[in-house]
Amino acid sequence: MSNGVLQVLFRIGSLACLAALASCEVSGKHMPIETYQSPSDPAVLAADQPISISATEMNYTIGLRDIVSVEVVDHAEFGGNFKIEEDGTFELPTVFRRVHMSGLTPRQAEARIHDIIRDLVVGSPTVRVKVLLSRSREYYMLGAVRHEGRYFMGLEDVTVRDAIIEADLWGDGAKTGTVYIITPDRDNKPSYVTVDGAAILQGKLRDNVVLKPGDIIYVPTTIYFQITKTLDEIIGQTRRVQDVEGSVRYGDKVGTDGFGKYATGAPIP
């Protein structure tokens, strides 16, 4: 293939790439960072301070797929470790009754179990419910990070800095100064805020917000990286075409097995 054709392909590829990049904006309503931080969020500058697990667990609401421990003092027959099923319930042993736990705090769950078994024991039962494993609170890391995917929050709050580090930092071509935090919406009206991921990792914690369950953290790649990658693909495809064309001359005899040996100048039958 001639150099002129290659140059045309490069220009077409560049224009197509730029057009694609121009249309690849994050969908949703862009919000100022101040609107993302609810009054209940911990102070941003204190985001790297240890969080009290007991305080977090006290306000935690049990969700689907969580593993909880149930203990009834002096009545082991009611206790055990249980998974909250997809319908939000688990089966309480001995009474073989399904107890709805999803959406309750551990203290509320204790009160519900207490009401169920109080007529089955002598005196007022002491019930303790503890969340052993949280699998209902999750967030997603996408884009130019080393490890994309779904991450469980557990019982502790997770900040943007925590999420980036958990994903093993940046991938190739990451646009670290513009990280999107996308909050999905059931009515298909997602919103998003942007933060400077590089600045956060350097200790500037003003925008190191606490993520909400279900959030998507998307790290885009730079335009330069995307153009370079697209052009590399075009060059690779062009070279493969040249290799194929260089191995076969027009006029070669075609047999049942494809192109045969090179033509020796004999007339084409």
Enumerate residues 6+ apart whose C-beta is below 8 A from 69: 79, 80, 81, 82, 128, 129, 130, 131, 132
pLDDT above 60 for 10:
no
Model confidence at 257, pLDDT cuts 50, 70, 90, reads low
Angle made by CA atoms 178, 180, 184, in degrees to the nearest 5: 170
Average the pLDDT over 119-136 and give the result: 91
Q: Give which of 140, 109, 102, 143 is closest to 225, Cα–Cα.
A: 143
Range of the domain at 111: 61-133
Q: Residue 156 has what pLDDT?
A: 80
pTM: 0.63
Whether residues 38 and 149 share a domain: the answer is yes
Tokens of 67: 């593993």
**Strand runs labelled E in 62-121:** 67-72, 80-83, 89-92, 97-100
Q: How far is CA 222 from the centre of its chain?
A: 20
Q: Residue 263 has what pLDDT?
A: 46
Whether residues 75 and 188 share a domain: the answer is no
Q: Residue 153 has what pLDDT?
A: 87
Q: Residue 264 has what pLDDT?
A: 46
Q: How do beta strands 191-195 and 179-183 pair?
A: antiparallel
Whether residues 41 and 75 share a domain: the answer is no
Whether residues 126 and 141 share a domain: the answer is no
Instruction: Note whether 194 and 179 are within 8 A (CB).
Output: yes
Total number of domains in the chain:
2
Nearest-10 crossing angle of helices 3-23, 223-247: 150
Q: What is the CATH number of the domain that holds 31?
A: 3.10.560.10
- Asked whether residue 258 is assigned to any structural domain, the reply reads no
Final residue of a structural domain among 100, 133, 166: 133
Final residue of a structural domain among 94, 113, 133: 133
